[in-house]
Amino acid sequence: MRIISGLIGAIERFTEVTGRMISWLTLLMVAMVVAVVIMRYFLELGSIALQEFVTYLHATVFMLGLAFTLKHGGHVRVDIFYRQFSARRKAMVDLLGGLFFLVPVCLLILISSWDYVLSSWAIAETSAENNGLPFIYILKTLMLIMPVTLLLQGIAEILRSALVVAGRESSVTATTETKELVL
């Protein structure tokens, strides 16, 4: 039991730390958008590289923020019935959803993206624009990192739900309480 609880805690700490670090990129993204607007409309200058950098930041925040969002219950959920379920029944829904939907989708994304990302690295893919950023292959690597981080957090959610279903944990602790407040 302690091993499982320790594993859940370790995964959730990792997700929390990385999620909070990634969230700071939104401020940088806003600053870059403001810079692009000022350069374009007030200084009549354009920068394809700066615009692509904003796109890279956007992709990074969304793709690497998925696990953090899952941890905090921020994903869209149709909870017509779910919100009225007991903690154990909610845990059963989360357990089955994780096992039959989240894990397979993460594995599908990881497996289907593997060759695509490796091909991009093999040719050191760059932007199609002349003045664009020269490292699209690094951006495409997010397609491998995202399902891994989401899968890790999904495992923590599945294990926590399994503990609740098995009666080893009385509720899904603060994570569920946070999810209910968010919804």
For 55-124, give the secondary structure using H, E and C. HHHHHHHHHHCHHHHHHCCCCCCCCCCHHHCCHHHHHHHHHHHHHHHHHHHHHHHHHHHHHHHHHHHHCC
Q: Which of 163, 22, 165 is nearest to 85 (CA)?
A: 165
Write out the residue range of the structural domain in which residue 57 sits: 2-182
Res. 171 pLDDT band, cuts 50 70 90: low
Is the pLDDT higher at 174 or at 56?
A: 56
Q: What is the pLDDT of residue 128?
A: 85
Res. 70 pLDDT band, cuts 50 70 90: very high
Total number of domains constituting the chain: 1
Res. 170 pLDDT band, cuts 50 70 90: low
Contacts of 161 (CB under 8 A, 6+ apart): 91, 92, 94, 95, 98, 172
The pTM score is 0.84
Residue 115 CA to residue 111 CA, distance in Å, equals 8
Answer yes or no: is pLDDT of 20 > 90: yes
The tens digit of pLDDT for each residue in 83-107 reads 888 889 999 999 999 999 999 999 9
